[in-house]
Structure 1
Amino acid sequence: MLESVEWGEYRLGDLFEIRPTKAYKYTNRDLFSFSGDTPVVTNTSFNNGISGTVGLDPTEEGGIITYSDTTTSDAIFYQPYPFVGYSHIQGLYPKNREWSKNALLYVVVSFRKSSNGLFDYGNKFNRAIASDMSIALPTRESEIDFEFMERFIALLNAQRLALLNAYLSVTGLKDYTLTPEEEQAVKDLEEGNVEWGMYRLGDLFGEATRGKRLKSEDRISGNLPFVTAGEADMGVSAFIGNDVEVFQPNTITIDMFGSAKYRNYAYGADDHVAVVHTQNLPKHAVCFITSAIHKVANAGDFHYGRNFYAKDAAPLIVSLFECQGSPDYGRMETLISAIEKLVIKDVVLYADREIEATKQVVDKTSKNKPI
């Protein structure tokens, strides 16, 4: 599809007015103290630039591209919804004509490509530089080919949604209807009709196992996920082929900061990671236990100055569903299964809506135009 495209170079300043987004004059602490649902776009390169939500009116309507003038090209995003601006966040406001979401997504990729590697904290990405920057866009008869951009992004979206739909079908996650038992489990929790018990983690699962250090330069490329401390990518820092201890699926890791995560795959781990051996329990019960561990281990007691080690796992006291003096793993399993369905329902419905909307875009833009 791209082989036959005619390309043109376009100056960003000719296409967009680039100016700072509007922001509230609050400190970070005060800004994020307003609890609410309005996203705040900051200088982060993650989560579409959104660092949190606040209970304030949006300062921007959305439907624009944003970038941080203090970071790198990774912080260039399309913002579909109204949001609160932030210091050093610049907005690209279309000139002369309306730009669709798909066209702006196309510009984001071209903008990132043109600015990749040029900017960092020491080399500011200011408005004058951005305005004078040229990006490559598809062209027809010496004009930007908006129809092609619309169709191309729609096709990419269709491919992504097809993969999502296939995954939901294969895993059985498309079935989001709660069973009577699951409905009752949710109702019991909401109404407080459950018994809780306090349990020492070591009494339930024995001593946790500590991973072993494997320096970055010693790692051999392979297929085994290697878990280290951190939140990015669930703490998986590499895929290795080294001969290391392989931990079983359906277990829990706790990193040096006390952050607990469920692992449904075999993996290796470094010495900043403790492994809790829950492999003999049902998956959803282990997910429940993971949350219970995270609540107590990640409450601020562990940090760079005081790391969480494997020896710290056994003494942890966790709160679990209880029945006749023992952990009620069956009820835990049923509740988490219900929560999974409630969450996945929105994903399934979203996928169905997007697939239909994408089909309409592709059909409309493909008339008399072979793909």
Structure 2
Amino acid sequence: MKTELNDRNWEEFFLTDVFSINSTSSGIDKNKLIRKNGTIPYITRTELNNGCDLFIGEQEEKYKKDKSNVITIGLDTQTVFYQNKSFYTGQNIQILSNPNLNKYNAQFIIKLLKIQMKKFNWGGNGATLTRLKRSKILLPISDNRQPDYEFMENYMKAKEQVLIKRYKNYISKRLDKLKSYLGVKSLSEKEWKEFDVPDIFPKLQRGKRLKKADHIPGKMPYVSSTAENNGIDDYVSNDEDVRIFSNCLTLANSGSVGSCFYQPFEVVASDHVTHLKNNDLNKYSYLFISQILSRLGEKYSFNREISDKRLKREKIFLPTNEAGEPDYKYMENYMKKIEYKKIKEYLQYLEKKFE
């Protein structure tokens, strides 16, 4: 079967000719959730993590889970995702279902749906159920002039194979560069010593409050106290009355207290995170220390935040060199050893999955 887009005939369809479109079966406000720890996706209008805000347990019986193998569209944000597991949702999520749908042709269709979503926007012109039902989509068709779901599936599978091959080549080369670090000493073979946090990070500075209503959509990560997505809570373009940091650690001082992440690029930092900087550190040594700093979350909580004063009194254990100083080179090499092992595992997974 040919898998080139220009080899196919295309035809315009109303979304209602392709999908059954309905509002969500649950629509639970986040503040009404019970059993917040679980394995069931809670889908909202967020643009991140396939629309999944968090994973929860079973909810009250009056809230029904939506079935898997559907496409979700968020009202106002116009977010479009494929859901491969049954899920609960927040408010204003529309559900598109079709028995011919699978994870491959769904991704093909989502690209086209997103084009249609551009005509909607936040507020009074959002992707309501009525407007969605009036919308049209252009799809490749089979000889009977119906959507060619098999072609869409095969097209996406072919694209996947190209990307998998490219990625496998990349990580194979990366493994060659990292294999020399397999001989790095284990953590138990190193001497460790306690250090005051300010001795490691002379510059401690909180971010600055930026109210949600003042966020200007953009491409710069906005880092807050979330424990997910490297601390990124939004993407903004604000450049006035904000604090922008890069090549540093951000430590959640409230909320998900103790969540610590390395930020390689420029980020706008909220007042719920503290910026930690040391010019002697690089990506790998920062990552090593971030895991140690994250343990601070065990002694703090939402009601007992890590204030600047408290952080300056904290101590952390670090591996040392012969001079009794923090051994940043060892930390770097140790993390490269870990990187090698993780990449090796993932390469084996890819080879097994796509053999």
Q: TM-score normalised by the shorter chain: which range applies?
A: 0.5 to 0.7
Structure 1 position 166, deviation (Å): 2.6
Structure 1 position 139, deviation (Å): 1.6
Distance 1:352 1:160 in 2: 13
2:124 corresponds to:
122
1:47 aligns with 2:44: no
Distance 1:77 1:341 in 2: 32
1:17 corresponds to:
20
Structure 1 position 48, deviation (Å): 0.6
2:248 corresponds to:
252
* Alignment check: 8 A CA contact 1:230 1:255 kept: no
Identity fraction in percent = 21
Distance 2:87 2:344 in 1: 26
* Alignment check: 8 A CA contact 1:256 1:307 kept: no
2:278 corresponds to:
277
1:80 aligns with 2:84: yes
Q: Aligned residues, how many?
A: 312
2:170 corresponds to:
167
Structure 1 position 47, deviation (Å): 0.9
2:109 corresponds to:
107
Distance 1:173 1:84 in 2: 44
- Give a deviation string over 1:235-260, Cα, whole Å, max 9, x none: 7978xxxxxxxx9x9x5244897975
Change (3 A) 1:288 1:278: farther
Structure 1 position 198, deviation (Å): 4.4
Structure 1 position 134, deviation (Å): 0.9
Structure 1 position 103, deviation (Å): 1.6
Change (3 A) 1:173 1:307: farther
Aligned pairs for 1:297-336 within 5 A: 315=312, 317-321=314-318, 327=326, 336=335
TM-score (norm 2): 0.67
2:223 corresponds to:
230
Letter in 2 for 1:146: Y
Structure 1 unmatched ranges of 5 or more: 212-225, 239-246, 357-371
Structure 1 position 352, deviation (Å): 2.6
Distance 2:106 2:301 in 1: 41
1:262 corresponds to:
262
1:347 corresponds to:
346
TM-score (norm 1): 0.65
- Give a deviation string over 1:173-229, Cα, whole Å, max 9, x none: 8989x95877x65xx7xxxx9997542233235446999xxxxxxxxxxxxxx9875
Structure 1 position 136, deviation (Å): 0.4
* Alignment check: 8 A CA contact 1:194 1:321 kept: no
Letter in 1 for 2:71: I
- Give a deviation string over 1:11-65, Cα, whole Å, max 9, x none: 111222112233275x524526431222211121211100011133882331111
Distance 1:276 1:341 in 2: 26
* Alignment check: 8 A CA contact 2:27 2:92 kept: no
Structure 1 position 289, deviation (Å): 1.2
Letter in 1 for 2:162: Q
Aligned residues: CA RMSD? 4.6
- Give a deviation string over 1:87-134, Cα, whole Å, max 9, x none: 32221121xx43232222222111111121313233332222212211
* Alignment check: 8 A CA contact 1:202 1:313 kept: no
Distance 1:330 1:319 in 2: 18
2:96 corresponds to:
92
Structure 2 unmatched ranges of 5 or more: 208-218, 238-244
